[in-house]
Chain A
Amino acid sequence: NAGVTQTPKFQVLKTGQSMTLQCAQDMNHNSMYWYRQDPGMGLRLIYYSASEGTTDKGEVPNGYNVSRLNKREFSLRLESAAPSQTSVYFCATDRLAANTGELFFGEGSRLTVL
């Protein structure tokens, strides 16, 4: 039982390059989330998906796109990476919709944009 799996764990990009962060969960949860964690700023919500087929913007969506491919998978895409997107990205899920349940996190994807 892997829980929440993120790939890749580490990535270095040049400004302007694109990439997709992948997240998969085997917990049969409805809601999935993408957060970024920056020093001194805590975790901030980028996008979330309350259920398969739906996605909504969080606090800091600019420069990102997401796809809820199916119930298990939720991907985050950077179309044209910028140095300000250097961060640690976390995918999370919760059992209940509307963020009322216990959150389960992946191990994180560490992205550096040069």
Chain B
Amino acid sequence: KQEVTQIPAALSVPEGENLVLNCSFTDSAIYNLQWFRQDPGKGLTSLLLIQSSQREQTSGRLNASLDKSSGRSTLYIAASQPGDSATYLCAGGGFQKLVFGTGTRLLVSP
């Protein structure tokens, strides 16, 4: 059974810092790995989707990597801003069995 773990559970950084969020999964046979952002009281917004044949995806200040052999994905946020404060969740996908981590709660202070 796929298990997805995110460490740390919470992270606080000053504005402008580059940071890395970690996601690990137990079953390397995944179709894709997705990163989401969730603001308090809101739904999830997809940030990046990495298919199993890919190693990374980039969108603006965000870069996500996927290493299936080690069971790890990282989300890199460059030059963090207070508006980046949110909970970030990763999810590893199998056949109609997307398994979510519990998220990293990020606070970026001005």
Contacts and interface: CB of A to CB of B under 8 A. Distances in A.
Which of A41, A50, A103, A108 has the most chain B CB atoms inside 10 A of its CB?
A: A103
Interface stretch (B14-22, B42-50, B68-76): B42-50
A65 B79 CA distance: 45
A102 B98 CA distance: 11
Contacts, number: 61
B107 interface: no
Interface string B29-48: 00110101000011111100
B96 interface: yes
B88 interface: no
A79 interface: no
B71 to A, nearest CB: 17
Nearest to B102: A42
Interface of B: 4, 31-32, 34, 36, 41-46, 49, 51, 89, 91, 93-103
Interface of A: 4, 31, 40-45, 48, 50, 56, 58-59, 90, 92, 98-108
